[in-house]
A and B are shown apart, each in its own frame.
Chain A
Amino acid sequence: MKWILLTLAYCAAIQGMAQDDLMALLDDEPAKKENVYATFKGTRIILGHSVKMRKKKELELLISHRFGRINSGAHELWGLDVANIRIGLEYGVMDNLNIGVGRSSFDKSFDGFIKYKLLQQSTGPGSFPFSVVFFNSWAVRTTPQQEDDPSYDFQDRLSSASQLLIGKKISPALSLQLMPVFVHKNRVSRIDENSQFALGAGGRMKLTKSLALNLEYYYRVDAPERTEFNNSLSVGLDIETGGHVFQLHFTNSTMTLERAFVTETFGDFFEGDIHFGFNISRTFQLGGKKDETSW
């Protein structure tokens, strides 16, 4: 009797572990901090920047195109006769530092920007709940030309926009962003202000794996009293295919430049001053180096 018991004990001791027990042993390891990715599909929500950065050595060609006002009538083919375009190139110097240049057709502005990721949303131990990106752009408008209006000197043509982008991916489908922005223009009309502050809010809601609905609004906190401009409101659809992102949208803003859409949006969305537009983004990977970046 005794030795039967002993044999049983012996068998139990050398018996291996079941698969589920092994799995439990494997899963026992402490969770690691992981960065949240793909908060937005594009580097723009619609007009303004999102917290999405180009990774190191990625080059993005971004064409932002806006037609005329839909309510301009049949003679103008509901705005399709008019084209305002910004062509831009953006580059990932580092994963958290992007630079870019662009040129807009509307007032023939040249612009440049830097975009720096200060904080990255992550999960796991020691994680941070949202991403913060600092953005600054500078622009030179070349309209009106010197010979047309000699009172314009170079200083008058400059403007800048400083912005904080605070973004959070709430769920795989829903991402939200807040973006306070300060715009300074060296020369303005009598009823405009040189320095203006605005608060932007935006978000994206994924409809399918490749489609997302986006919304973006910039509220001018201290809009000039006799302003002729409106707040910028845009609604859009992101379509992503491999290295391309197509963004279709309806907006009351004409230009893609921060200075222009934040403080100089002519149209009133609810009066029907809506422009149809699209952004086409193509990303190229320069240099075939492995991505050793962490998320």
Chain B
Amino acid sequence: MKTLLALLLITLSFAPVLAQQYKAENGYVRFFSEAALEDIAAENKKGSSIFDVSNGNIVFSIPITSFEFEKSLMREHFNEKYMESEKYPKAVFKGNITDFEDREGTQNLQAHGNMTIHGVTRQINTKGKIMKEGDQLRLTSTFIVRLEDYEVKIPKLLWQNIAEEVEVTLDFQYKPLAQ
């Protein structure tokens, strides 16, 4: 009984020191869509995320206006006409990664949760990878987003060159969050 108590107290005193949460800043997000006239690709290096390894909870926040395009006019249209980023400045994900083990090496994992883009929230399941090296984590994932699901409307007027689906790639580097 006494030893158990002592053990508890010891772990208790260490608990705040153990890194529970990992944070990623300047996370990389890319999207790509193939269309008849023109492939469209954009990159964003301003994504942020926090991952709680103790329970697998994970959140992402991506500022929409930080997507950079090959053509600057595309960026304006993307923000003004498609994403309405003055109204909906961020895309966010709140979810959970199941079966994450806090160990070195690479793990293939599943995440499920709620993704909000363009003010519309959808439940999604997606696959990804987490690599742990020392106290750093690296998360990568690729998934498909259908514009229709998030009510991103494409104005039907003369020439249009936007695909209905885009492929999104994430690459985030995490460090322990300072308590």
User: Hey, which bits of chain A sit against chain B, CB under 8 A?
Assistant: 3, 6-7, 9-10, 13-20, 22-23, 25-27, 29, 34, 37-38, 55-56, 58, 172, 208-210, 239-244, 283, 285, 288, 290-293, 295
Contact = CB atoms under 8 A, between A and B. Distances in A.
B49 A26 contact: yes
B157 A239 contact: yes
Given A34-B65, A37-B79, A10 B158 contact: no
Main secondary structure of the interface of B (DSSP, over half): mixed
B73 interface: yes
Contacts of B158: 241-242, 244
Given A17-B52, A17-B57, A291-B70, 8 more contacts: A3-B8, A16-B54, A25-B177, A37-B79, A55-B73, A56-B72, A288-B70, A290-B68
Given A3-B4, A172-B87, A19 B94 contact: yes
A39 B32 CA distance: 27
Interface string B50-62: 1011111111010
Given A19-B96, A210-B81, A10 B12 contact: yes
Nearest to A92: B72
Contacts of A17: 20-21, 52, 55, 57
Contact of B55 (A6, A16, A240, A244): A16
Nearest to A41: B80
A104 B20 CA distance: 69
Nearest to A289: B70
15 contacts: A7-B8, A14-B15, A16-B20, A16-B53, A16-B54, A19-B94, A23-B59, A23-B94, A25-B50, A37-B79, A241-B157, A242-B158, A290-B43, A291-B71, A292-B68
B16 interface: yes
A20 B113 CA distance: 12
Interface residues of B, number: 54
B44 interface: no
Nearest to B2: A3
B72 A55 contact: yes
Contacts of B15: 10, 13-14
Contact of A295 (B50, B65, B73): B65
Contact of A22 (B12, B58, B73, B153): B58
Nearest to A95: B72
A291 B72 contact: yes
A20 B86 contact: no
A20 B21 CA distance: 14
A283 B73 CA distance: 8
B136 interface: no
Contacts of B86: 172
A6 B8 contact: yes
Given A17-B21, A208-B155, A291 B8 contact: no
A19 B70 contact: no
Contacts of A241: 155, 157-160
Contacts of B92: 23
B161 interface: yes
Given A9-B12, A55-B73, A242-B161, A209 B58 contact: no
A224 B49 CA distance: 65
A20 B96 CA distance: 12
Interface string B120-162: 0000000000000000000000000000000001010111110
A78 B109 CA distance: 70
